[in-house]
Structure 1
Amino acid sequence: MKRRTLMAAAGGAAVAGAVAGPGPAAAAAYTGYAMAYFTESPTMAAAVYGLHLAVSSDGLNWTPLNQNRPVAMPTLGSTGLRDPFILRKQDGTFTVLATDLKGTDWAYQSRHLHVWDSADLRGFTGYRLLKVHSLATHAWAPEAVWDPARGQYAIVYSAVNASGHNVLMVSYTTDFRTATDGVVFFDPGYDAIDGSFVTVGGVHYMYYKNNTNSTLLGTRSGTAGPNSWSVYTGAISPGRGVEAPQIVKSNTANTWWMWGDTWSPNGRFFAWQTADVASGSWTPLNDRAYTQPLNSKHPGIAPVTAAELSGLTATFGTPAWNRIKSYNFPDRYVRHADNVARIDVYPFDPYQDQQWTLVPGLADAAGVSFRSVNFPAMYLRHSGYALVLAADDGSATFRADATFHRTAGLADSSWTSFRSHNVPDRYLRHSGYVLRIDPITSGSPATDRQDATFRVVH
């Protein structure tokens, strides 16, 4: 399931959601991005079906807000949401739409969507349910766009109709309080969900999930009307099941990104980029290029102004914890497991094992020590050159072993390396996915320098 609307063009000029531009708000330059999502993790320990928000200045690396807790919770219908979508309306304010579904009870049939209004995404008002069809089925993954020919917003979502499989349906509204009864918008002849829209050069594009094989496909239309879409791409896949396409225009370059999410609770985002949406050709990004919010599922992304970006951060705050991402295995993060420090493939549970509070160095405040979030009396230290999680015994040796100094990344100066405080010719690195400290110099093999390079993220 999925959602999406307007993007910002290079230099801040607005490019439309599926049918038209974003209206008066286009006068403001977009300098950042906001993401709506919900959370799950492999064992469902992180399952929280409320509205979460994250922000980004570059559109690729994301910072969760409100300590990765919901900023709003639904109280009607199932009392849970999936697939939140942020729409900037013609007047510049926002409406948030979401699937009415708590958890994974796919038999739950709701004809309604959760709806909130917001002036600036810092507060959410007018919470309500919106009925979009009268069928005996669900309404999944809404996305809304302005249709100037109708003078209404088109709400597109997935539902099972007389065909017996999921199709994309559309309902029209002016106020997101009442909507026309849904009609078929796109039916490729097989199960299809998760429509995501954008307009480029007067042509309308919709990407969706082929739900029979969990790949993404792109369609286009000259009118953006119901049943006017034709497929123009081959199947897009990261080599495993993917859904929730989300297309975002860079605020600063002629670059488009498309996000996708895994279909299972093992929520991992994938990203592709192109300089030409019309070509239908997308290049996958290496995990090194982007970082998703912790445990995030099904992103809905909208560009925001500098004032909106700073306002969101000021209102909700940024996390008090960090995660540490490996440079040469960027799908892996530093975590503790049975008190051994290692790097493991994201996502995993307990997810708190990868969360660290970076505090002033215990032996030197100019350095840094890594305190565990879920075992806050314990820190990473080296012992026999191996990194372990251990309780602070108050000794000078412990404090020195648990202190490191940040340096420019040995493999990439825009990343970070960590030099041992009391064995200063040794750096934190992974070997066989286990962390230790080893001597590394500029003359060391490239692999060693890569093993010792990390990125501090959220």
Structure 2
Amino acid sequence: MKKLFILIFLAGLLHNATAQDAVYLFAYFKDNGQDGLHLAYSRDGYKWLALNNDQSVLTPAAGVDKLMRDPCIIRGADGRFHMVWTVSWKEKSIGYASSADLVHWSAQKDIPVMAHEPGALNCWAPEITYDARRKEYMIYWATTIPGRFTAGDSTGDEKYNHRLYYVTTKDFQHFSPAKLLYDQGFNVIDASIVPDQGRFIMFLKDETKTPPQKNIRTAVSNTLTGGYGKPSAPITGPYWAEGPTALHTAGKWIVYFDKYTQHRYGAVESTDLKTWTDVSGKLSMPQGIRHGAVLTITSKEFELLK
């Protein structure tokens, strides 16, 4: 019994040390994404400070239009940081690069995930989620293929009626064919998926304009690559929101999003993923921050960034 108590005590110390060691990092873009990747950090998840004097830390080189919008960075199972982003408003590909330290990046490459679809209009807001059970990554994004879906075809912005698509990869060199990930009969973009106790939580934007939605919702599945059901009720308020990204810290979920018509960021938080409280008033974000993604790094990694 005494040995068991000591083991539990040491495990608690290790957990507290790990929590104290954590630094939250926000990858984002500014303006149209033409100058590249921006980074901000936080110790508490509410006050965010820009790194590098809020100047770009990586210049875009992939795609024809050379943009770096909607960056998403995750720590891979291989220990490296993997990033994807939107390279253009109209191209059929996404950008990819990796790094061991968030300072030195691999050569950027263009992944033509929708090149096989002649009518595809775009590839927007890609993200990556790792599937520990299958030991592979899923990259997913939103694309409009005119005429492919009738539901929602006249309720969005102009000709856009998005659905979510995905590919899988184990090495970011070889990719599965693109497949449909989410279609629940409405225009949907900006998915961000996080594992949670054996299941996967998708945060998504209902892109319906008429009648107006433009809000963040959730959907749940027991498998990463499919099975997400009808979306929840909106977790955001009576304003237009997009680009959700979630942080799980201190027993609660914080979901950040761009209140893009108000030109500022918002957040909601929950302990059960069902009841949400608006905490936008607690946020302090860099000026001009746009759609991005949050991740956790160590103090040592942060010192190298500084």
Return the match for 1:92 from 70, 76, 79. Answer: 79
Q: How much does 1:48 deviate?
A: 4.4
Q: How much does 1:176 deviate?
A: 2.0
Say yes or no: does 1:271 pair with 2:262: no
Say yes or no: does 1:215 pair with 2:215: yes
What is aligned with 1:294? Answer: 287
CA distance, structure 1, for counterparts of residue 231 and residue 37 of structure 2: 33
Point out where structure 1 has 5 or more consecutive residues left out of the alignment: 1-9, 14-26, 102-107, 314-458
Amino acid in structure 2 at the alignment position of 1:73 = T
**8 Å CA contact retained: 2:200, 2:224:** yes
**8 Å CA contact retained: 1:273, 1:283:** yes
Distance 1:180 1:29, change over 3 A: farther
Distance 1:223 1:211, change over 3 A: same
What is aligned with 1:82? Answer: 69
CA distance, structure 1, for counterparts of residue 243 and residue 301 of structure 2: 25
Equivalent pairs, count = 273
CA distance, structure 2, for counterparts of residue 249 and residue 30 of structure 1: 15
Say yes or no: does 1:197 pair with 2:193: yes
Q: How much does 1:93 deviate?
A: 1.2
What is aligned with 2:232? Answer: 233
Amino acid in structure 1 at the alignment position of 2:184 = P
Say yes or no: does 1:143 pair with 2:127: yes
- Per-residue CA deviation, residues 218-240 of structure 1 (Å, 9 max, x unaligned), is 100122232x0113521133321
CA distance, structure 1, for counterparts of residue 164 and residue 248 of structure 2: 23
Q: How much does 1:170 deviate?
A: 0.8
Point out where structure 2 has 5 or more consecutive residues left out of the alignment: 1-11, 154-160
Matched ranges for 1:38-187 at <5 A: 38-40=29-31, 48-77=34-63, 78-101=65-88, 108-133=89-114, 134-135=116-117, 136-161=120-145, 162-163=148-149, 165-187=161-183
Return the match for 1:254 from 247, 251, 255. Answer: 251
CA distance, structure 2, for counterparts of residue 12 and residue 147 of structure 1: 26
Amino acid in structure 1 at the alignment position of 2:77 = Q
**8 Å CA contact retained: 2:265, 2:280:** no
**8 Å CA contact retained: 1:209, 1:215:** yes
Distance 1:30 1:188, change over 3 A: farther
**8 Å CA contact retained: 2:27, 2:38:** yes
Structure whose residues are more often strand by fraction: 1
Q: How much does 1:99 deviate?
A: 0.6
CA distance, structure 2, for counterparts of residue 177 and residue 256 of structure 1: 33
Amino acid in structure 1 at the alignment position of 2:255 = M
Return the match for 1:305 from 298, 301, 305. Answer: 298
CA distance, structure 2, for counterparts of residue 268 and residue 262 of structure 1: 5
CA distance, structure 1, for counterparts of residue 166 and residue 13 of structure 2: 32
Q: How much does 1:128 deviate?
A: 1.1
Q: How much does 1:91 deviate?
A: 1.5
Amino acid in structure 2 at the alignment position of 1:89 = G
CA distance, structure 1, for counterparts of residue 13 and residue 24 of structure 2: 14
Aligned CA-pair RMSD: 2.2
Matched ranges for 1:329-348 at <5 A: none
Distance 1:276 1:140, change over 3 A: same
- Per-residue CA deviation, residues 302-330 of structure 1 (Å, 9 max, x unaligned), is 001111122211xxxxxxxxxxxxxxxxx
CA distance, structure 1, for counterparts of residue 217 and residue 59 of structure 2: 32
Distance 1:12 1:80, change over 3 A: farther
Q: How much does 1:28 deviate?
A: 9.5
TM-score of the pair, normalised by structure 2: 0.83
Distance 1:151 1:199, change over 3 A: closer
TM-score of the pair, normalised by structure 1: 0.56
Larger radius of gyration: 1
CA distance, structure 2, for counterparts of residue 128 and residue 148 of structure 1: 25
**8 Å CA contact retained: 2:138, 2:225:** no
Q: How much does 1:275 deviate?
A: 1.2
Q: How much does 1:80 deviate?
A: 0.9
